[in-house]
Amino acid sequence: MKSDLSKLVELQKTDSRIRELKENVETAKDRRAELEAEFETHASSIREVQNKKSNAESRKSELENSIEESKASLERANRNLTTAQDQKQYEAAMREIDSLNKQITKHETEILEQMEIIDETQGVLDERSEEVANLDSDWEEKQSGFEKILRSEKRELKKLESERASVFEGIAPQLAAIYNRLITRSRDGLAVAEVVEGACSACFMSLRKQMIVLLRTTDEIYTCESCARILYIDTEEKSEASA
C-alpha cells in the first residue's frame, strides 16, 4: 500500500499539473491573439510586396488607357491642323498637339517607372515563392496545431480533475486538511516540496542533515522549518542513497 507521503506527492503532482493546464486554458485567448499577430507581421511583409505590385499594375493600365485617349485626341488635333481655316485655328491645333505629345511622353515615362516596380516586386515574390505559396497552409497548420494542443489540455484537465478526488480520498483527513491549507496559502500552489541538493525546492532553505536522513529513510511526514511545506525526497534518489 502507498504511504501517505507518496499519496501527497502524487496529489501535489496532480494539482500542479491541473494548475498549469488551467492557466493554459485561461490564457488560450491571449495566446491565440499573439499567434495571429505574429503571423500577420510575417504575412504582411509579403502582402505589402503583393499590394505594391498590383498597385503598379493598375497604375500602368490606367496610364496606357490615358495614352490611348491622348492618341485619339492627337489624331483629331492633326486633322484640325490640316483643315485649319485661319491662323487662330492653326495655332490652337498646334498648341493642343504640343500639349498632347507632352502628356503622352510624361505618361510613357511613368509607365517605365511602374514597369520597374512590377519587375522588382515580381523578383521578390519569385525569390519568396515557396513562402508565398505556403502562406495560407502554414497558417492553417499552425492554427490547427494550437487548437489540437488546447483540446488535449482541456481533456487532460477534465480527467485530472475527476481523478483528483480519488487521490485525495486515500489521504488521512488531518493530512488532507494540512495539504489544503498549505496549497491555498501558497502563491505557487505548492504544499509538497521536493528536496533538491539538500534544500527545500520551494523556499531554497538548506535542510539539517538529520532531517535529510529522516526523509531518506522513513515515510514519515516532515515539514520544512522555513516554509512549512511537506518535504519529500525523490524515491530514486532515496534508493541511490541507501544502495
Please, what is the minimum distance in Å from the beta carbon of residue 218 to Zn ion? Answer: 19
Q: How many CB atoms lie within 10 A of CB 205?
A: 13
The stretch near Zn ion (CB under 5 A) out of 48-56, 143-151, 178-186, 224-232 is: 224-232
CA proximity to 39, closest of 151, 145, 114: 145
**Residue 8 to residues 24, 86, 127, 146: CA-CA distances in angstroms?**
24, 112, 59, 33
Please write down the long-range contacts of 56-60, taking CB distance under 8 Å and 24 or more positions apart.
56/114, 56/115, 56/117, 56/118, 56/121, 57/114, 57/118, 59/110, 59/114, 60/111, 60/114, 60/115, 60/118
Q: Which helix (H) or strand (E) holds 187?
A: none
Pick 68 or 220: Cβ nearer Zn ion? 220
Pick 93 or 224: Cβ nearer Zn ion? 224
Q: What is the Cα–Cα distance from 183 to 171, expressed in whole angstroms?
A: 15
Pick 66 or 201: Cβ nearer Zn ion? 201
Pick 204 or 218: Cβ nearer Zn ion? 204
Give yes or no for a contact between 222 and 230, defined as CB atoms under 8 angstroms apart.
yes
Q: Per the structure block, which three cell numbers stand in for 168?
A: 485525495
Please, what is the minimum distance in Å from the beta carbon of residue 229 to Zn ion? Answer: 5
Pick 157 or 202: Cβ nearer Zn ion? 202
- What residues pair up with 195 in beta bridges, in sequence order? 200
Please write down the long-range contacts of 93-99, taking CB distance under 8 Å and 24 or more positions apart.
none
Pick 78 or 186: Cβ nearer Zn ion? 186
Please, what is the minimum distance in Å from the beta carbon of residue 185 to Zn ion? Answer: 13
Please, what is the minimum distance in Å from the beta carbon of residue 202 to Zn ion? Answer: 5
The stretch near Zn ion (CB under 5 A) out of 64-72, 126-134, 139-147, 219-227 is: 219-227
Binding Zn ion by CB under 5 A: which of 92, 203, 214, 221? 203
Binding Zn ion by CB under 5 A: which of 128, 131, 226, 238? 226
Q: Per CB under 5 A, which of residues 173..202 are in contact with Zn ion? A: 200, 202
Helix 28-82 / helix 87-127 crossing angle, nearest 10 deg: 150
Please, what is the minimum distance in Å from the beta carbon of residue 214 to Zn ion? Answer: 15
Binding Zn ion by CB under 5 A: which of 5, 11, 74, 224? 224
Pick 11 or 207: Cβ nearer Zn ion? 207
* Site residues, Zn ion (CB under 5 A): 200, 202-203, 205, 224, 226-227
